[in-house]
Amino acid sequence: MELNLDMIDIIQAKFVEFLFDYGPKIIGSLITFFIGKYIINVLMKGLSNLFLKYDIDASLASFLTSLFRALLYIVLFITIATQLGMELTSFIAILGAAGLAVGLALQGSLSNFAGGVLILIFKPFKVGDTIEAQGTLGAVEVIDILYTKVRNFDNRVVTIPNGALANNSIINLSQKPTRRVEMAVGVAYGTDLKKTRKVIMDVLKKDERIHADPEPVMKFIGFGDSSLDLTVRCWTDAGDLWPVYWDNMEALKEAFEANDIEIPFPQRDVNHYYPEGKPGEPSEERKD
């Protein structure tokens, strides 16, 4: 029992000694952390306002903001470690060794960082563009140091590694100001194609969103199972692509009906053979 009391006294003494030796450092480090975090947030807000003031590209602004935030937190971490009594040279050596180990373990992340740099340099897309990549179609919301966030049209956000984007094909649907609208149309066999062309062109001319140059065209492209297949092509502003498509597909249907142009549907000719004789007639066996 006496031994236990001695051990407790020793532990208490060590604990008190620890508090006197490291307590102020720990409290100071916590104060440094919260003050540093506050300063970083203020600097990030000021940096964002600076980017807005000088109209810096949104993609570049997002990337640099993420990078500077990471660097500032690394500086804060080194400051706290030094404040706790760790020698700077020793800490840098440990940090370098840890960085090498982490770098080997996180090769994919380094690839994503390099991919982000390449995206900012060559600009295959920017924030706000609509792209199709890695099986995803949507608008680019954020380009971070490692990942790009794309919002689908059903409002889901897909996070794509920058390395995958930098090393694979990307379709940018927003890079050009105009887009071609292509509508597939079918009319029944026997339809007068010249009349059909005139009806289609009259419909397209009524839509002011459709460009006159290049002018709209209608081409016969093949013989379908139940229809003469046509393609109708016209050009419009990129933002009007789908409204022009939807509105004119409906307008073409109404124009076809008004001009007695038949819209086909699948049909099959069925021939019924009666080897045993037609219904109501005696078969050969019965005649015998």
| Whether pLDDT at 1 is above 50 | no
Here the tokens at position 85 are 């009594």
The mean pLDDT of 21-45, rounded to a whole number, is: 83
What does the pLDDT look like over 149-208, one tens digit per residue?
999 989 999 999 998 998 899 999 988 999 999 999 999 999 999 999 999 999 999 999
CATH number of 178-258: 3.30.70.100
Q: Over the stretch 95-136, which tens digit does the pLDDT of each residue have?
A: 666 665 555 555 567 788 888 888 888 889 988 899 999 999
- Segment 259-266 long-range contacts (CB within 8 Å, at least 24 positions apart): 259/195, 259/199, 261/187, 261/188, 261/191, 261/195, 261/196, 261/199, 262/187, 262/188, 262/191, 263/186, 263/187, 263/188, 264/186, 264/187, 264/188, 264/189, 264/224, 264/226, 264/227, 265/226, 266/225, 266/226
The structure's pTM equals 0.59
Question: How would CATH label the architecture of 8-105?
Answer: Orthogonal Bundle (1.10)
- Least Cα distance to 166 among 118, 113, 127, 121 occurs for 118
**CATH 2.30.30.60 fits domain 116-172:** yes
- pLDDT-based confidence at 4, cuts 50/70/90? low
How does residue 55 score in pLDDT terms, banded at 50, 70 and 90?
confident
**In the chain, what are the domain boundaries?**
8-105, 116-172, 178-258
What is the structure's pLDDT at 22? Answer: 66
Bigger pLDDT: 66 or 38?
Answer: 38
